Amino acid sequence: MGYSKDQLLARLKELQIDFSQYEHPVVLTVEAQAKYVGNVGGALSKNLFLKDKKHRYYVVSALADTKVDMKVLSQRLGLGKGGLRMAPEEALGEILKVPLGCVTPFALVNESASHVSLLLDKGFKTQERCIFHPLSNDMSISLNAFGLDKFLKSIGRDPTYIDLEANPPVGKDQPPDLASLVPLGSTVLPDLPEKTPSQDSSGNHPSAGNNSTAVTAKADKPSSAVQNVKEKSVNGVRPSIPSTDAGKFVEELLDRTSTLLLSEISEDSIKRHGGQLGAEVANNIRKCLREDLKNLATIVKNTAYTEGFYAGTHYQPKRL
């Protein structure tokens, strides 16, 4: 079973996160919630639980009056125009372990939600306090974004605040700016129908017959469409000249020269050139290696200059 409200509150206290709690009758919408805690001096949040076509899940948590355009968000994540839907009710219970109307960032405390991506409205940071459900809809807690961060970090999450109302263009030269927030694995829920039965419930999920370990994360490769080009270039490539070590540089030069030298001297070439082989090989070495070695030398020069430049811009003037 998932975390309970009391367990969460205890955890918050343990972490010394400053929060206030308000009990009220069960509420299912932000409007209803506003009736009870609209005036306590905190900003109400709206929380969406979304799913994409590859069964990856997202919690989008925003200030109640931030406009969230699902089409735009879908594009910014690199999912195309219609890639995001509201997640089915069953997923709410299975993955977030919360009842309907209770989506909250705190639900990520559950193991079952470990692959859910969390998108936080940067607007939270400008508010004194923000209001969320603490895993059940008969209570609301208000806390500062800082406190939320502390909690998220304690469960191993790196809080990412984004401008949810932004609508940057996405095209061939502008990669989707939120692509890095797409979860790596996909969450597969066995035996779940795609359609959501539209009745309210208090968190009972259909008996898929599984416990929280029903969630299997496939180790998918991130979709190549959003793969950062930069990653490819850094993967597994060692510079042939490590820094400015004179010894290593010289070894590299000598290695290349001897490799070429050895390849040039064979029974065949000895027969062909006889005593002139030396001159011939020397010539070839110059021809073949000149540009390559110059390039290497330039790299070393540039690196040494850069080190000097860095030292120069960071030096502390002599105290007089």
Partner 1 sequence: MEKVEDQNPQQEEDQVVNPWEVSAKDGGKIDYDKLIDKFGCQRLDQSFVDRVQRLTSRPPHVFLRRGVFFAHRDFNDILDAYERGQKFYLYTGRGPSSEALHLGHLIPFMFTKYLQDAFKVPLVIQLTDDEKCMWKNLSVEESQRLARENAKDIIACGFDISKTFIFSDFDYVGGAFYKNMVKVAKCVTYNKVVGIFGFTGEDHIGKLSFPPVQAVPSFPSSFPHLFSGKDDLRCLIPCAIDQDPYFRMTRDVAPRIGYHKPALIESLFFPALQGETGKMSASDPNSAIYVTDSAKDIKYKVNKHAFTGGQETIEKHRQYGANLEVDIPIKYLNFFLEDDAELEHIKKEYGAGRMLTGEVKKRLIEVLTEIVERHRRARAAVTDEMVDAFMAVRPLPNMFD
Binding site for partner 1 (CB under 8 A): 168-169, 172-175, 177, 228-230, 232-234, 237-241, 292, 294-295, 298-299, 301-303, 305-307, 309-310, 313
CA-closest candidate to residue 79, choices 179, 161, 160: 179
Residue 213: both structure tokens together: 């370990």
CB 2 within 8 A of CB 98: yes
Distance CA 173, CA 182 (A): 20
> Measured from the CB of residue 250, what is the shortest distance to partner 1 in angstroms?
17
Q: Are strands 19-23 and 139-143 parallel, antiparallel or unpaired?
A: antiparallel
- Which residue, 170 or 281, is less far from partner 1 as judged by CB? 170
Least Å distance, CB 295 to partner 1, is 5
In contact, 93 and 99? CB cutoff 8 Å: yes
In the complex with partner 1, the residue whose CB is nearer, 30 or 226, is 226
User: Cβ 69 to partner 1, closest distance in Å?
Assistant: 18
Nearer to partner 1, 230 or 319 (CB): 230
Shortest Cβ 289–partner 1 spacing (Å): 13
Q: How far is Cα 286 from Cα 289, in angstroms, rounded to an integer?
A: 5
Cα separation of 42 and 25, whole Å?
Answer: 19
**Residue number with CB closer to partner 1 (71 or 232):** 232
Question: Least separation, in Å, of the C-beta of 307 and partner 1?
Answer: 8
What is the nearest approach in angstroms of partner 1 to the Cβ of residue 233? Answer: 5
* Single-letter amino acid code for the residue at 256: R
Q: Which is nearer to partner 1, 174 or 198 (CB)?
A: 174
Residue 285 or 299: the one with the smaller Cβ distance to partner 1 is 299
Closest residue by Cα to residue 78 from 178, 221, 187? 178
* Chain centre to alpha carbon of residue 26: 34
**Residue owning tokens 């290695």:** 255
Q: Which residue, 220 or 292, is less far from partner 1 as judged by CB?
A: 292
106, 132 in Cβ contact below 8 A? Answer: yes
Nearer of residues 138 and 264 to partner 1, judged by Cβ: 264
Instruction: Mention every residue, 6+ apart, whose C-beta is less than 8 A from residue 169.
Output: none
User: Residue 275 corresponds to which amino acid?
Assistant: G
Please state the closest distance from residue 305 (CB atom) to partner 1, in A.
Answer: 5
For CA atoms 95, 101, 102, 108, give the dihedral sign.
positive
Query: How far apart are CB 227 and partner 1 at their closest, in Å?
Result: 10
Rounded to the nearest 5 percent, the helix, strand and coil shares of the chain are 45, 15, 45
